[in-house]
Amino acid sequence: MGDLPALEEMLAEDVVSYADGGGVARASKIPVAGRTRVAAYIKAFAPRFWIDSTITVVEANGRPAALIARDGVVYAMLNIAASEEGIDRLLWVMHPSKLARISTLL
């Protein structure tokens, strides 16, 4: 599933992916860094993460973000920062109490 080389091309060499699951949601507890590692990380969870999901673009903290929901329930928010080099930061908010507040953006 997915095109790993195409994903890697969108990422900056020094991209970092941070996840906030708060110890409650399944999320990486440490940052994942580097183009190859981040691409492989995203590809690894893609089959179970994105299936039957709805993505809604919203503004969060003054930046564009994506709310990711299944059956009307938000289970993640993704904030992406990019530069001329490509996507250089991914922030996955998956902590249920934070998402409860974010869900009002739908």
pLDDT of residue 62: 83
Show the CA angle centred on residue 2, arms to residues 10 and 24, nearest 5°.
85
Structurally, the chain folds into a number of domains equal to: 1
pLDDT number for residue 16: 97
Give pLDDT tens digits for 9-68: 999 999 999 998 666 566 777 899 999 999 999 998 888 888 899 999 988 878 889 999
Residue range of the domain that includes 48: 4-105
| Phi and psi at residue 84, to the nearest 5° | -60, -25
pLDDT at 69: 92
**Contact assessment for residue 77 and residue 68, using Cβ atoms and an 8 Å cutoff:** yes
Q: What is the pLDDT of residues 4-13, one digit of tens each?
A: 888 899 999 9
Is 103 or 61 the better-scoring residue by pLDDT? 61
Instruction: Note the pLDDT tens digit of each residue in 44-56.
Output: 888 888 889 999 9
CA proximity to 70, closest of 39, 40, 99: 99
CATH number at residue 21: 3.10.450.50
DSSP symbols for 49-70: HSTT-EEEEEEETTEEEEEEEE
pLDDT tens for each residue of 70-102:
998 899 999 999 999 999 999 999 888 888 877
